[in-house]
Structure 1
Amino acid sequence: MTTDASTPAQRKSIQLRFKGVQFDTSVWPCSEDLLKRQVEIENLSQVLLNAQSPLVFAIDAPWGGGKTTFFRLWQHYLTHEKKVSLYLNAWESDFAEDPLLPMLAILDRWLSDQSNSTAVRKAWEKAKTYAPGIIKSTAVAATKAATFGALDLDKEYEKLASELSGGIVGSLVDSFNIKKKSLDSFKIQLSKALDALPEGQENLILFVDELDRCKPTYAIEVLERIKHLFDVDRIVFVLAINRDQLCKSFQGVYGPSFDGIHYLRRFVDLDYRLRTQDIGAYINARIRQPEILEYFNSRRSERDDYEYGSNVLGFLATRFDFTLRDIDQFVVRLKLILRSIPHDHYLDIPLLIPMMALRQENPDLYARYVESALCANEVAEFILGGPIGIVVFDHSMAVAVGYLIAAARDPHEQTSIDHLITPWSEWYEHAKEKDPQAAIISTVVEFASDCRDWRRRREMQKLAFSRIELVNKIDVS
């Protein structure tokens, strides 16, 4: 997506899409800033908008660590401040013969619209005529057929590219000289075209996302193109990377002993580690989405089940090392399940969310529990991350474990679950004098022993299982 603050009319109409929700870029802070990135973004913007350029700046975070969301919010802020920024998803364009093409394409979408500046338009048109001299020869044919086909390929360089692809160049020295001349001329014209930046904006911010998800060879080519072709004053590249993963990609190309960290330093001038967030606050915001709250409000829940859900999901996210992307996907599946429930039905969230996590993290144990909930204590130890009598957990998880055990009660009352409750009762008896967790352990026993409405809960359990299986057949990205 390109955001362009070049004219008042365009600025007024600009909107960005954030996780499927459009938001007005005239408003800052953004309501979707669930991780409170505002100060971080404002400070980085002031540094990079006024930094000595050219500059390549890397935002480092693990997969699912919120880099794309951070970029979207950052673009939102820049647009609100009437600054120009451009966005390229490298992973979505790694089919290109040459990564230079998608880079030129996003520049073209911005600069070709500068109808109020004849000098800028002319400079960019000239820059495009030099592009064939620096684009990989195998990509020229694809260039003319692709969406970037608007390129006005200069005849001399088009002929050169054709000869290169056919392997009939008479002089490699001449070929090199033409490419060098093309590159120098391209940079000169691009520098002139950057006068399209709004008054008061020193540098163009160009975000490159998902670089670590690209094919290793393509990721390397992107870095090389940025460093060697866009080392132009007033351009700042901001890369979203998972440093460890990207270095492993380099090793996949150059061998396991290759020093990927040292190699990456050749291309990146400055690093920034995206700070760790309060996962609990993020989950609490995500779980309170209108669609989820509407589900509970429409069923007149007697207690705040969504708060239980938030706390349980927070515990499980820590237990299973969920990334922000994992949490988003989990909440999407939860919303799909709640949407599918008839209005006159209800699900126990303290049971549903642990079952969703179990289905994701241990499908075999989940299948055994669905077949017979008599393995409830084994499930409890797995989701809590430790054995009965030792593991530490909170009140919300105590309710969840109590529900898991209570669900083992046989609908025909032929099977006792006393043997499932006994280990918790014994733990409580030992703990009630000196263990601060005694009240929490007591909650497990209380909910596991509760026989009220167990037939209705059994039906809710079956409904939950059917919906969990349904949403796990859906690819949630």
Structure 2
Amino acid sequence: MKLFPPEIEVGEDEGFEPSKDIFKRKEYGEYLARLFSVVEDPMVVVLDEPWGSGKTTFVKMLAGHLRNESFPVIYYDAFANDYNDDAFISITGEVMSLADKLKTELDSRKERFLDAATSLAKKVLPILGKAAVKAATCNIITDKNFEDVSKAMSDSFANLAETELRSFIAQYGKNKELVSEFKNSLTSLAMMLRESKASEKPLVFIIDELDRCKPPFALSLLERIKHFYSIKGIHFLLVADMRQLENSVMYSYGSSIDSKRYLQKFYNLVERFPSKDERRQSDVRTFLTNVYEGLPDDSQDGEYKNQIIETLEAISLQKGFTLRTVEKISSHVALLLLKTNHNTLRISTIMTCLCALKVEQPSLYERAQKKLISFEELDDYFKFNLWRTDEHSIKFAVDWWKFCVLPSLEGDNEELNDFSKHLHRYGIRNRKDIIPVLCRLLDGTKFVSDK
């Protein structure tokens, strides 16, 4: 049984191995490979998907696929590297690591690139790091916030020692030469990498987890790519939720900046995962089937497990949950199942809904726990009639929730009294105690992410 669904381990050269490509994205990966192959000019592509949509697993598979197609590839976890003060050092180090791996013997082009990168890092980057990041935004500033940015730029330069400014101005021409030499050496190195693969394919640099970085590092990374790495023979794939990157821009430059427009100068294309054909299983169903492969099931035909999957799929599709949210809910369901068995009252729909409330709507979960929630509140959140499942499953969910929370079962609700016959064998006398009993089991263990 999986309490925490394990991350899919993808080998460097594995590519889209069928048993791991559970969302069937190989075809989309092949399209990206063709795109990188045929475009000659330097290109920056953004894979824009929300957190928890399976981006990291996909790009790791893509990296392996590209390597098998003779592309030189660098996979770079930006979040794991944001302890560095400047992104230039770490991404340049990745290039050197790949060069050493693909061409172990001495090569003057590797030494030239290392010398050029060292000179650039020593002479140019320190002054840029203190002042020019804010100056880089001036070409998109509107009249409304021009004064704020102008003041920010002035303050930034005022903090520099006069001797540093004089030195930078005096060495301006030489610094331009250093940047030019770095780009030339990088062009030669990219050619060397293609030769080592006996291929004309460009270097593909995959930058993952960009939206999870500290804002200054994320923006530094974008600036360094634009100003120093935009050369023929190198393509970048930035993997991020663009909404989070826009927040990083506003964090760094203020809420008045047009963050979307600011970011547009750093990329050429935005890609999204293709929509699923209606004839295929949904991503959520595919994910849940994989996660619940080891789920215990007391029924002979697996009906109980299927009810959980069906309920969570219906909720997730209706609410638009990300796969990461589905994963959290699944962990709570798995924990609750560990604490129950066939001798305990197990109502698949109620348990799954409670776990969803605990993760996504703690206030409603607390009201349910205290016997305060009404069926109208539940229906307003879950919208049972919009679930993409069969009418029998919807009726099953609605009837059990009504049985648990309605003030009275008189009149039209008398048919729900039939549910009462299930209670005595589990030691529950009052139907309104069902939810608190399940909540006590669920609250006995707290996941760190719940804090």
Compute the RMSD of aligned alpha carbons.
Answer: 3.6
Q: Is the 8 A contact 1:50 1:203 kept in 2?
A: no
Q: Is the 8 A contact 1:312 1:353 kept in 2?
A: yes
Q: Is the 8 A contact 1:65 1:325 kept in 2?
A: yes
1:452 aligned onto 2:421 = yes
Alignment-derived partner of residue 50 in structure 2:
62
Alignment-derived partner of residue 151 in structure 1:
none
Alignment-derived partner of residue 96 in structure 1:
84
User: What is the TM-score when the length of structure 1 is the normalising length?
Assistant: 0.72
2:122 to 123, 128, 133: 133
* Distance (Å, rounded) in 1 between the aligned partners of 2:116 and 2:338: 52
Determine helix, strand or coil for the equivalent of 1:399: helix
Determine helix, strand or coil for the equivalent of 2:408: helix
- The residue identity in structure 2 corresponding to 1:171 is S
Per-residue CA shift, 1:304-354, capped at 9, x if unaligned?
122211221122113332122222332233334445657976743222110
Q: Would the alpha carbon gap of residues 123 and 380 (structure 1) be closer, same or farther in structure 2, given more than 3 Å must change?
A: same
* Distance (Å, rounded) in 1 between the aligned partners of 2:269 and 2:50: 18
Per-residue CA shift, 1:338-383, capped at 9, x if unaligned?
45657976743222110111223332332232233x7462454244
Q: Is the 8 A contact 1:71 1:207 kept in 2?
A: yes
Per-residue CA shift, 1:265-306, capped at 9, x if unaligned?
32212222333457962222222236x343334x34455122
1:399 aligned onto 2:396 = yes
1:384 to 382, 385, 392: 382
Long gaps (5+) in structure 1: 1-17, 141-163, 409-416, 426-444
1:205 aligned onto 2:192 = no
Alignment-derived partner of residue 8 in structure 2:
21
- The residue identity in structure 1 corresponding to 2:449 is D
Alignment-derived partner of residue 316 in structure 2:
317
Alignment-derived partner of residue 193 in structure 1:
189
Q: What number of residue pairs does the alignment pair up?
A: 402
Q: Would the alpha carbon gap of residues 92 and 424 (structure 1) be closer, same or farther in structure 2, given more than 3 Å must change?
A: farther
1:51 aligned onto 2:52 = no
Q: Is the 8 A contact 2:72 2:203 kept in 1?
A: yes
Q: Would the alpha carbon gap of residues 40 and 347 (structure 1) be closer, same or farther in structure 2, given more than 3 Å must change?
A: same
1:77 aligned onto 2:65 = yes
Alignment-derived partner of residue 87 in structure 1:
75
> Is 220-229 or 456-465 further displaced after alignment?
456-465
Per-residue CA shift, 1:105-153, capped at 9, x if unaligned?
322332233454422543443344334236632899xxxxxxxxxxxxx
* Distance (Å, rounded) in 2 between the aligned partners of 1:286 and 1:130: 49
1:182 aligned onto 2:178 = yes
Alignment-derived partner of residue 294 in structure 2:
294
Q: Would the alpha carbon gap of residues 49 and 461 (structure 1) be closer, same or farther in structure 2, given more than 3 Å must change?
A: same
- The residue identity in structure 2 corresponding to 1:465 is C
Per-residue CA shift, 1:38-94, capped at 9, x if unaligned?
111101111113321321112223343443333223223224434332222333333
* Distance (Å, rounded) in 2 between the aligned partners of 1:251 and 1:27: 37
List aligned pairs for 1:184-263, cutoff 5 A: 184-194=180-190, 195-197=192-194, 198-263=197-262
* Distance (Å, rounded) in 2 between the aligned partners of 1:179 and 1:99: 19
Long gaps (5+) in structure 2: 130-158, 429-433
1:474 aligned onto 2:448 = yes
Alignment-derived partner of residue 285 in structure 1:
286
C-alpha displacement at 1:199, in angstroms? 1.6
> Is 456-465 or 98-107 further displaced after alignment?
456-465
* Distance (Å, rounded) in 2 between the aligned partners of 1:84 and 1:281: 33
User: What is the TM-score when the length of structure 2 is the normalising length?
Assistant: 0.75
Could you say which structure has the greater relative contact order, defined with CA pairs below 8 angstroms and 6 or more residues apart? 2
- The residue identity in structure 1 corresponding to 2:382 is L
- The residue identity in structure 1 corresponding to 2:8 is V
Determine helix, strand or coil for the equivalent of 2:98: helix
Determine helix, strand or coil for the equivalent of 1:258: coil
Q: Percent identical across equivalent pairs? A: 21
- The residue identity in structure 1 corresponding to 2:9 is Q
* Distance (Å, rounded) in 2 between the aligned partners of 1:302 and 1:422: 36
1:122 aligned onto 2:111 = yes
Q: Would the alpha carbon gap of residues 418 and 302 (structure 1) be closer, same or farther in structure 2, given more than 3 Å must change?
A: farther
Determine helix, strand or coil for the equivalent of 2:420: coil
Q: Would the alpha carbon gap of residues 320 and 26 (structure 1) be closer, same or farther in structure 2, given more than 3 Å must change?
A: closer
